Structure 1
Amino acid sequence: MFMSEKKELKVKSIKNGTVIDHIKQNRAANILNMLNLPDDETPVMVAINVESSNMGKKDIIKIEGRELSADEVDKLVLLAPQASVNIIRNYEIVSKHNLQLTDEVIDVVKCSNPNCISNSNEPIQDKFYVQSKEPVLLRCHYCERTMDFEDIESQF
């Protein structure tokens, strides 16, 4: 009689940094690009298409030695609105935030319409209304152009 062993892949814990979890499958590369990672200094661990009890499949990113800035989180919520961001210090989760896409997005992305007044030299803020959170669809406050994930992601 043979005993079956369950093998599990373990990913090293990080001492200090950020874990981005619950990313929609196959979106980790878009997020790494937005964060300008990988670079020559920052250790990054990425898991793509891993099993998730509530998402089916998901991606996970662990970034050693770096906490995301407010601007990066503002962009991240457009690329992965259902993600959670965990800040790790001394191997412990010190804060966990489930991202929330608000009803308006201000000064995070630019309108994809080159003729929009927001793309002129006028002193106005880039402003969008969220038409849909999944999938993310934004509507420009000024010209009413709708932007989808590809339009948004291409700016990062």
Structure 2
Amino acid sequence: MSEFNQLLVRRIRNGTVIDHIESPRALLVLNILNITGQEGNVITVALNVPSVKQKKKDIIKVENKFLEKKETDKLALIAPNATINIIKDYKLTEKRRIQLPDKIIGFFKCPNLRCITNTEEGLSSKIEIIDKKNILLKCQYCARSITTNELIK
């Protein structure tokens, strides 16, 4: 068995595997998903894993947590090539590719400090994806153009 083919982390019985995360963004993915470890679930994070397609990738395994589509929409901006694998009884039961939605509502704050979403209590941000290929974003309220890096700071 070659060194590349060795199993780096153990299999999980039930939960979610987030694979093909651009390296080194796994810790950012955990932060965006509000996964802290305080939930009591076993979390495995592998950074800079050798990959044929990407040279290096990150992998996250979260036992006993099944990510829903609205949660994975958050990842579209920071891990657009990631795949979500739902595991039940050690078997892959669902595989999802992350896709950018048309809008991202309430996950990120508009970086414009004067935007109404930052001053009005209870008003959720609405970030429109103007161009999915080049990832051009715009706040629906203040019409500010936004970069991915501004959103994830």
Corresponding residue pairs, total? 150
SS in structure 1 opposite 2:77? Answer: helix
* Maintained 8 Å contact 1:129/1:138: yes
In the alignment, what sits opposite 1:18?
Answer: 16
Q: CA deviation at 1:76?
A: 2.1
Q: Mark the runs of 5 or more structure 1 residues left unpaired by the alignment.
A: none
Q: CA deviation at 1:69?
A: 3.8
In the alignment, what sits opposite 1:62?
Answer: 61
* Maintained 8 Å contact 1:138/1:148: yes
In the alignment, what sits opposite 2:87?
Answer: 88
Inter-partner Cα distance in structure 2 for 1:135 and 1:44: 32
SS in structure 1 opposite 2:58? Answer: strand
Letter of the 1:26 counterpart: P
Name the stretch that deviates more: 131-140 or 30-39.
131-140
2:18 is aligned with 1:9: no
TM-score, length-scaled by structure 1: 0.81
Q: CA deviation at 1:144?
A: 2.5
Letter of the 2:23 counterpart: Q
Q: Deviations over 1:43-91 (max 9, x none)?
A: 1111111222222221111111111244422322232122110110000
Q: Mark the runs of 5 or more structure 2 residues left unpaired by the alignment.
A: none
Please report the RMSD computed on the Cα atoms of aligned residues, expressed in angstroms.
Answer: 2.4
Alpha-carbon spacing, 1:145–1:66, altered in 2? closer, same or farther (3 Å): same
Rg comparison, structure with higher value: 1
* Maintained 8 Å contact 1:75/1:108: yes
Inter-partner Cα distance in structure 2 for 1:74 and 1:92: 24
Letter of the 1:36 counterpart: I
TM-score, length-scaled by structure 2: 0.82
Percent identity of equivalent pairs:
39
In the alignment, what sits opposite 2:49?
Answer: 50
Name the stretch that deviates more: 55-64 or 121-130.
121-130
Inter-partner Cα distance in structure 2 for 1:44 and 1:134: 32
Q: Deviations over 1:76-115 (max 9, x none)?
A: 2232122110110000011110010023222322211111
* Maintained 8 Å contact 2:73/2:98: no
Letter of the 2:28 counterpart: N
Q: CA deviation at 1:136?
A: 4.5
